[in-house]
């Protein structure tokens, strides 16, 4: 069976994000996948990239350089245990699903912190091993998120601009940079402002998509996909 890691960033299990996460766990488990969830708020995941991420002595105690220290610590096996745990989950996964509400055209800070701290140089990328030769190649990622704004606001000529502009840093800047191939995002627009009936339809659509997810081809994650 395939392995899926769902990195989930919502405070409330009763939220639509909570329902979307639950459906993914159910549907993928039913298919025989083994599903792991990192429920970041429940874990009280530390989003800040600090000195505390390195256990023991620093490589250069005179002038702290987080990226360098994390890279060195990864190589000597002295990253903090919460990071090692997450890296293990990523390493084992065939597919990473990120489930979150859109915050300020991006992901919630706790999820951004997961990206900052887990995708360490040496583990996820190591120049020149980036983009198509990133160290996490052969994995897939899927960004599944909800918005406050409507589909119309996030259309190409809409007031908020094409939703794909926001996906550039997340999908290309982070996942593709680490070699991960990206599936079409799954976006539930404005769940708070639609009917109960519409929300149920959104959840059914997600369950339906998951049934044939493994037949999907990754997007062509290049500037054209985002900005053409």
- Tally the C-alpha atoms within 13 A of residue 194's C-alpha that lie toward its C-beta: 18
Residue 173: partners with Cβ closer than 8 Å, 6 or more residues away: none
Residue from 13, 47, 149, 169 binding ligand FAD (CB under 6 A): 149
Q: 112 or 176: whose CB is closer to Zn ion?
A: 176
Q: What Å distances lie between residue 103 and 5, 143, 147, 167, 195, CA to CA? A: 22, 14, 8, 13, 22
User: Judged by CB under 5 A, does residue 181 bind Zn ion?
Assistant: no
Residue from 15, 31, 34, 80 binding ligand FAD (CB under 6 A): 15
User: Judged by CB under 6 A, does residue 38 bind ligand FAD?
Assistant: no
Select from Zn ion, ligand FAD, none the partner in contact with residue 214, using the beta carbon and a kind-dependent cut-off of 5 to 8 Å.
none
User: Judged by CB under 6 A, does residue 201 bind ligand FAD?
Assistant: no
Select from Zn ion, ligand FAD, none the partner in contact with residue 146, using the beta carbon and a kind-dependent cut-off of 5 to 8 Å.
ligand FAD
| CA 8 – CA 98 distance, rounded (Å) | 6
Q: What Å distances lie between residue 93 and 24, 66, 105, 136, CA to CA? A: 15, 26, 27, 10
Q: What does DSSP assign to residue 54? A: B
Site for ligand FAD in 77-106 (CB under 6 A): 101-105
Select from Zn ion, ligand FAD, none the partner in contact with residue 200, using the beta carbon and a kind-dependent cut-off of 5 to 8 Å.
ligand FAD
Residues that bind ligand FAD (CB under 6 A): 10, 14-17, 19, 101-105, 146-149, 191-192, 196, 199-200, 203
């Amino acid at each position: 069976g395939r392995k899926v890691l769902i990195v989930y960033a919502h405070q409330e299990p009763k939220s639509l994000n909570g329902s979307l996460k639950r459906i993914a766990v159910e549907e993928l488990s039913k298919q025989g996948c083994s599903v792991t969830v990192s429920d970041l708020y429940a874990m009280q995941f530390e989003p800040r990239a600090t000195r505390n991420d390195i256990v023991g002595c620093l490589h250069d105690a005179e002038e702290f350089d987080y990226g360098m220290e994390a890279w060195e610590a990864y190589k000597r096996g002295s990253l903090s245990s919460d990071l090692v745990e997450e890296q293990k989950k990523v390493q084992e996964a065939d597919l990473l699903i990120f489930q979150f509400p859109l915050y300020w055209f991006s992901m919630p800070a706790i999820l951004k912190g997961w990206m900052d701290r887990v995708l360490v140089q040496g583990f996820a990328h190591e120049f020149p091993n980036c983009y198509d030769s990133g160290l996490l190649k052969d994995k897939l990622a899927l960004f599944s998120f909800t918005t406050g704004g409507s589909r119309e606001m996030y259309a190409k000529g809409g007031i908020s601009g094409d939703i794909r502009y926001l996906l550039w840093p997340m999908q290309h800047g982070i996942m593709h940079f680490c070699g991960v191939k990206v599936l079409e995002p799954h976006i539930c627009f404005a769940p708070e402002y639609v009917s109960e009936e519409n929300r149920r339809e959104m959840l059914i659509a997600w369950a339906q998509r998951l049934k044939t997810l493994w037949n999907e081809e990754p997007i062509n994650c290049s500037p054209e996909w985002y900005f053409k």
